[in-house]
Chains A and B, each alone.
Chain A
Amino acid sequence: MGESKDGVKGKRVVFVTVGTTCFDALVKVVDSQEVKDELLRRGYTNLLIQMGRGSYLPTKSSGDDGSLAVDYFTFSSSIADHLRSASLVISHAGSGSIFETLQLGKPLIVVVNEDLMDNHQSELAEKLAERRHLYCARPPTLCQTIASMDLKSLVPYSPGDATPVAKLINRWFSIHHFSDWHAIATAKSAQLVRKYDQPFILSGDNKEWKSLLRPLMID
C-alpha cells in the first residue's frame, strides 16, 4: 500500500451489496473474522457493506490498527459510485446488480442465497461463472473462493444487444405470412447462436451444445 505525498493511502475497497433484499447470511459471513482476514491477506484495505433489509448489523472498524476498515449502510439511491470505487464486488445474485457490476468491468463474486425458496437466480450466476465472467459462491464457500480466486483469469463481459429483438418486433408488422416470419426469426436465432454460444462448444458440455445447435443451424 503506497502513501503519496498528500497522505492518500492506496485504498482497495471491497463493496458488498444485497440490493433491496434481506440476505443476512451474506452480511454475517462477510463480517466473520475468517473472511476479513482472507480479504486483508489478498491486499484489500476497506470493506463497505450495503446491507439492504437485513437485520444483522456488522461491526464497524476504522482499520487504524492495520485491520480491515469496515463500514455499512442500508440503502442508497444509486450504488454506481460505490461500484466504481471498488476493487472487488461481492453481490447477491440479482440480475440488476450483476450486470451493473459487469458493465463497469469490476471483478465480481456472486453469492447465491440458499434460503430463497425458488432459487432461479443461481442459474444466471452459474451460467456467467461457467463463462468465467465472475466467481460464484455460497455463504459457506465464500472464504475459500476469496482465497483461491485469480481475478486476472476473469473474462470481461461484452454488453448485450437489444437490436435483434427490436428488429423482430418491428418486422412483425411488415410480414404477411407466418412462414416468412418463422424463417426470419429462426435464421436470426441461428446467427446469434453462432456469434455468442458457439465459442463455448469446446469448453462446455459437448453433447448439450451439439443437440442445441443442430435444429438452430442452417447451412
Chain B
Amino acid sequence: MEKNSSRSFSNFSLGITCLIAFITIILVRVVYVIYRTGKPLNRRSPPQALATLIVLGSGGHTAEMINLLLVLQKDRFTPRFYIAAATDNMSLQKARVLETSWADSQSGVKGISAGFMQIYRSREVGQSYVTSVWTTLVATVHALWLMIKIRPQVVLCNDPGTCFPLCVIAFIFKVVGIRWSSIFYVESIARVKRLSLSGLLLYKLQIADQFFVQWPQLQRKYPRAHYVGCLM
C-alpha cells in the first residue's frame, strides 16, 4: 500500500515539476518577445518579399488604410492578405478594386496575388459586454484558423475591433516560434486625445512593434507612439 501511494506521489510531484518548468519556459519566452518587440529585426540585407496581413475596419478606417496602401512599397509587401469583419461588405470590395487596379497597371503579371477573407467580429458597436465575451472567443478561434493559413511576416492594422484578436495571435506565434511578425498599428484619425480600447491594450501590453498616432497630443501622452501627421 505504502509503495503504491509513494509511487503515485512521486508521479504527481514529477507532473507538477514538469508543469512549472513548462510555464517558466513560456514566461521567459514571453518576456523575451516583449523585449524584442519594438526593436528592428537585425537582418543583414533588406527583405525581398514579406507576407503582409492588412486588417480592414469599417468605413473611415478602410479609407485611411487605403490611403496608406497607395503609398506603400508594393513589391516589398507581397503577397497581401486582407481581412475584414464578416458584417462589413464594403471594405473587402474596396480592397479588391484597389488590387485589381494595381494588377491592371502591371503588365505581364499573372492576375492578383492577394487574398481576401472575412472574420467574425469580436464585438459589434453597442453590443453588451456580457455577450461580447462569447463572441470574442468565437472570433479568436476563427482568427487563429486564418492566421495559421496566412502566417504573416507583417501585420498592418488601424481598426480597433477587428485587429485585436489577430494581433494577439500574432504575438502568440512569436512566443511559440511559429512566425516572427512585425506588427504596425496606426491609431485612427478620429482619436485626438484618447486611444481606442484595443489601441491602448496593444500599446500597454507592447504587442505592437510600432504604434503610430495621427495627432501630436497622443504622442505626448504615450511616448512610445510616433506622430505621423494626418492620413486623410
Q: Write the residues of chain A forming the contact surface with B, with a CB cutoff of 8 angstroms.
A: 19-20, 94-96, 99-100, 103, 117, 120-121, 123-124, 126-127, 159-166, 168-170, 172-178, 180-181, 185-186, 188-189, 192-193, 195-197, 208, 211-212, 215-216
Query: CB within 8 A of B231: which of A100, A121, A161, A211?
Result: A161
Q: Is the CB of B219 within 8 A of A176?
A: no
Contact A95 B189 (CB under 8 A): yes
Contact A172 B220, CB 8 Å, known A99-B232, A123-B192, A160-B232? no
Inter-chain contact A192/B232, CB cutoff 8 Å = no
Closest 8 CB pairs of A and B: A96-B60, A160-B230, A95-B60, A123-B192, A165-B228, A96-B59, A189-B227, A95-B190
Let me know if A19 and B59 touch, CB within 8 A: yes
Interfacial chain B residues near A164, Cβ < 8 Å: 228-229
Given contacts A19-B59, A160-B67, A162-B70, A123 and B190 within 8 Å (CB-CB): yes
- Is B191 an interface residue when CB atoms closer than 8 A count as contact? yes
CB of B194 within 8 A of CB of A192, answer no
CB distance from B42 to the nearest CB of A (A): 6
Residue of B nearest to A192 (CB): B229
- Other-chain contact of B228, A94, A174, A188, A215 (Cβ < 8 Å): A188
A215-B216 Cα distance, complex, nearest whole Å: 11
How far, in angstroms, from A20 to B125 measured CA to CA in the complex? 12
Report yes or no: A20 in contact with B59, Cβ–Cβ below 8 A: yes
Chain A facing B: main interface SS: helix
Q: How far is the CA of A192 from the CA of B227 in the complex (A)?
A: 8
B98-106, B109-117, B130-138, B180-188 - the one binding chain A: B180-188
Q: How far is the CB of A129 from the nearest CB of chain B, in Å?
A: 12
- Chain B interface size, as a band, is 35 or more
Q: Can you pick out 5 interface pairs between chain A and chain B where the beta carbons lie within 8 Å of each other?
A: A95-B188, A99-B60, A168-B210, A168-B228, A170-B76
Contact present for A165 and B59 (CB under 8 Å): no
Are A189 and B191 touching (Cβ within 8 A)?
Answer: no
B46 at the interface (CB under 8 A from A): yes
Residues of A within 8 A of B191 (CB): 120, 123
The residue that B219 contacts in the complex, of A103, A174, A208, A216, with Cβ under 8 A, is A216
Q: Is the CB of A163 within 8 A of B71?
A: yes
Instruction: Tell me, in angstroms, the Cα distance from A97 to B156 when the chains sit together.
Output: 23
**In the assembled complex, how far is the CB of residue A98 from the closest CB belonging to chain B, in whole angstroms?**
8
Contacts of A20 in B (CB 8 A): 59
Q: Report the separation of the CA atoms of residues A205 and B182 in the bound assembly, to the nearest whole angstrom.
A: 37
Q: Please indicate the chain B residues that have their CB under 8 angstroms from the CB of A181 in the complex.
A: 40
- Which of A20, A160, A178 gathers the greatest number of chain B CB atoms within 10 Å? A160
B151 at the interface (CB under 8 A from A): no
Q: For the complex, is B177 an interface residue (Cβ under 8 Å from A)?
A: no
Contact check, A173 vs B228: say whether CB atoms are below 8 A apart: no
